[in-house]
Amino acid sequence: RIVYVNGQYLPESEATISIFDRGFLMADGVYEVTSVLDGKLLDFAGHSVRLARSLKELDIATPCSDEELLAIHRELVTRNEVVDGMIYLQVTRGNPGDRDFAFPGADVKPTLVMFTQSKPGMADSPQAKTGIKVISIEDIRWGRRDIKTVQLLYPSMGKMMAKKAGADDAWMVEDGHVTEGTSNNAYIVKNGRIITRQLSHDILHGITRAAVLRFAAEAQMEVEERPFTIDEAKAADEAFFTSASAFVMPVVEIDEAAIGTGKPGPVATRLREIYLEESRKTAI
């Protein structure tokens, strides 16, 4: 695989980052994951806007222009012959040459790393046909989940708790209400109405969420943005989640209770179809 590190395209075995990089020492960095279908990027504009926002919130310098960023994405897709898959991008505050809690000065340039992950046929994932199982866990993450930082230890632990319980993912709960999944935004459907938590510092502002809510509105589906409880989710007709890499994924079980018929519901199924169709149209 050819990867990108600070201006260079290199075989992955030759790519290196300093042990003093703040991304490594302090999780002082942000990331984006953009999907590729048929060799084209899905919602690149959405991801670059969110990246700029994450960087600004943390006062990390912008590593390059959006045009350059797009060019690197495309170059990696070409060099690695990615048809379907993902591009991972990470920007850290860089390498100050030592360990210090205080941020370094402007002379320390941010680190930019990008690599591809091929996933042939990812749009036809078998899980989308059967639906997936989630467990609920307490949300003990920090209070700025709207910033897409690389502090992913608790979401990783959540994923492991889910696996141990025989499930696929975990939905996190704070003050009795679902915030989001370990790496996705959470939704339920009741009487034809789509319910998902409103944007705030409590959740990541999903790029897929924004697209799906737009498509739902265009298809005259009713959407309500508010928090919901796990009990409400268990009593819902359907549940699903969204993310750039899984698109729209039906959830058929929460804490071992079947949701609705226990099979992917019509709303989630339809939204997945619309999302894939529409985002392929605007892919670049």
Beta strands 247-254; 132-138: pairing state: parallel
Look at residues 7, 80, 84, 79 and name the one whose alpha carbon lies nearest to residue 41: 84
Pick 33 or 108: Cβ nearer ligand PMP: 33
How far apart are alpha carbons 68 and 74 in whole angstroms? 10
Tell me: does residue 196 bind ligand PMP (CB under 6 A): no
Closest distance between ligand PMP and the C-beta of residue 60, in Å?
Answer: 18
Catalytic residues: 148
Options 122-130, 179-187, 224-232, 268-276: segment touching ligand PMP (CB under 6 A): 179-187
What are the residues whose beta carbons fall under 8 Å from the beta carbon of 110, sequence distance 6 or more? Answer: 55, 60, 61, 62, 63, 91, 92, 93, 94
Tell me: does residue 208 bind ligand PMP (CB under 6 A): yes
In three-state secondary structure terms, 277 is: helix
Pick 34 or 95: Cβ nearer ligand PMP: 34
Footprint of ligand PMP on 18-57 (CB under 6 A): 33
Backbone angles phi, psi at 247, to 5 degrees: 65, -120
Options 111-119, 176-184, 219-227, 271-279: segment touching ligand PMP (CB under 6 A): 176-184
Closest distance between ligand PMP and the C-beta of residue 206, in Å?
Answer: 3
Closest distance between ligand PMP and the C-beta of residue 153, in Å?
Answer: 13
How far apart are alpha carbons 8 and 46 in whole angstroms? 25
In this structure, are residues 254 and 229 in contact, taking their beta carbons and an 8 Å threshold? no
Of residues 128, 207, 221, 230, which one binds ligand PMP by CB under 6 A?
Answer: 207
Binding residues vs ligand PMP (CB under 6 A):
33, 180, 183-185, 204, 206-209, 242-244
